């Protein structure tokens, strides 16, 4: 692509792949009803594989144009903008990665669904913080904003892959009493990933906290445990 790519052109390409049937299904799946976490979100009905295909064609998109996608009320516009940002980050030098991470954090209020977080947080913020001060994650973990808290814990996936577990466990402790199911699932998932790398580390955390963890969090964390061990932890939780 040339340097003339715009958000309008990207959204036009997305429209070509849109489906009303898929849009209705996505609106149900992402819980856009009144009082639900995705209330007010709008779907065009474009599959993620097609969004990824389009994102690959527009990796030259400027940050101003990516911002336009992120400001869109259409879910697929925001996700495609983030996929482009991830691609740019992966190809960037250290100075540009810093600038892209700053941009990412400045637009965090537009990263407002679990798939938007999961598709971007580990690959931009998490990767950048492998060699930077991580205090921002603790600020995000204590936010009143559900998606900021999810960004905090999911970003640590990058650390887990490198055998670093401290921040994941610290943030998991902060989120132990969170009331949101999407946070319970995210924390449980990250604890499970810790266990995939170091089962003893995960089990030390569980032996300390399993009794008070939300049940969904615990179920996600022990999902791959042998049945007898799973039952043991669930019995411990129910005491």
Residue 108: inside a domain: no
Q: Are residues 125 and 234 in the same domain?
A: yes
Residue 194: inside a domain: yes
- Smallest Cα–Cα separation from 4: which of 61, 64, 82? 61
pLDDT of residue 27: 95
- How much of the chain, in percent, has pLDDT values that exceed 90? 95
Q: Are residues 134 and 211 in the same domain?
A: yes
pLDDT of residue 237: 77
Look over the chain and give the mean of its residue pLDDT values, rounded to a whole number.
96
Residue ending a domain, choose from 74, 93, 112 = 93
- Domain with 132, as residue range(s), is 121-239
Average pLDDT over residues 199-222: 96
Q: Are residues 68 and 141 in the same domain?
A: no
- The string of pLDDT tens digits covering residues 90-120 is 999 999 999 999 999 999 999 999 999 999 9
pLDDT of residue 236: 82
Domain count within the chain: 2
Give pTM, 2 decimals: 0.95
Integer Cα distance of 229 and 77 in angstroms: 43
Integer Cα distance of 127 and 87 in angstroms: 13
Model confidence at 238, in pLDDT bands (50, 70, 90)?
low
Q: Are residues 16 and 88 in the same domain?
A: yes
CATH number of the domain that 139 lies in? 1.25.10.90
Q: Are residues 83 and 151 in the same domain?
A: no
CA gyration radius, the chain: 19
Residue 106: inside a domain: no
φ, ψ for residue 121, nearest 5 deg: -60, -45
Q: Are residues 47 and 161 in the same domain?
A: no
Residue 62 tokens read as: 């400027």
Residue 6: inside a domain: yes
Q: Are residues 142 and 182 in the same domain?
A: yes
Integer Cα distance of 166 and 145 in angstroms: 23
CB 42 within 8 A of CB 17: no
Integer Cα distance of 29 and 38 in angstroms: 9
CB 82 within 8 A of CB 116: yes
CB 223 within 8 A of CB 193: no
Residue 33: inside a domain: yes
Integer Cα distance of 125 and 135 in angstroms: 12
Model confidence at 239, in pLDDT bands (50, 70, 90)?
low
Integer Cα distance of 109 and 194 in angstroms: 28
Residue 111: inside a domain: no
Q: Are residues 129 and 236 in the same domain?
A: yes
Give the CA distances from residue 164 to residues 131, 193, 198, in Å, rounded to whole numbers and listed in that order: 12, 11, 10
Residue 69: inside a domain: yes
Q: Are residues 130 and 87 in the same domain?
A: no
Residue 99: inside a domain: no
- How much of the chain, in percent, has pLDDT values that exceed 70? 98
Q: Are residues 7 and 86 in the same domain?
A: yes
Q: What is the dihedral of CA 159, 160, 163, 166, to 10 degrees?
A: 70
Q: Is the pLDDT of residue 82 over 70?
A: yes
Average pLDDT over residues 183-212: 97
3-class state of residue 74 by DSSP: strand
Q: Are residues 71 and 150 in the same domain?
A: no
């Amino acid at each position: 692509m040339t340097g003339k790519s715009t958000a309008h052109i990207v959204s036009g390409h997305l429209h070509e792949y849109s489906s009303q049937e898929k849009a209705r299904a996505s609106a149900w799946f992402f819980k856009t009803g009144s009082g639900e976490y995705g209330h007010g979100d709008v779907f065009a009905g474009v599959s993620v594989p097609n969004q990824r295909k389009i994102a690959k064609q527009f990796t030259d998109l400027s940050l101003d144009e990516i911002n336009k996608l992120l400001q869109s009320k259409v879910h697929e516009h925001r996700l495609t903008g983030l996929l482009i940002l991830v691609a740019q980050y992966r190809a960037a030098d250290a100075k540009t990665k810093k600038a892209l991470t700053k941009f990412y954090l400045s637009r965090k209020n537009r990263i407002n669904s679990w798939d938007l977080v999961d598709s971007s947080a580990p690959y931009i913020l998490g990767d950048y913080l492998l060699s930077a001060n991580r205090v921002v994650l603790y600020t995000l973990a204590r936010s009143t904003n559900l998606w900021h808290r999810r960004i905090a814990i999911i970003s640590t996936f990058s650390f887990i892959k490198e055998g670093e577990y401290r921040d994941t466990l610290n943030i998991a402790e902060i989120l132990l009493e969170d009331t949101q199911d999407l946070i319970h699932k995210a924390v449980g998932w990250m604890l499970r990933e810790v266990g995939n790398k170091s089962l003893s580390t995960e089990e030390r955390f569980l032996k300390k906290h399993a009794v008070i963890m939300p049940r969904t969090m615990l179920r996600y964390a022990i999902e791959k445990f042998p049945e007898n061990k799973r039952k043991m932890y669930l019995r411990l939780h129910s005491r």
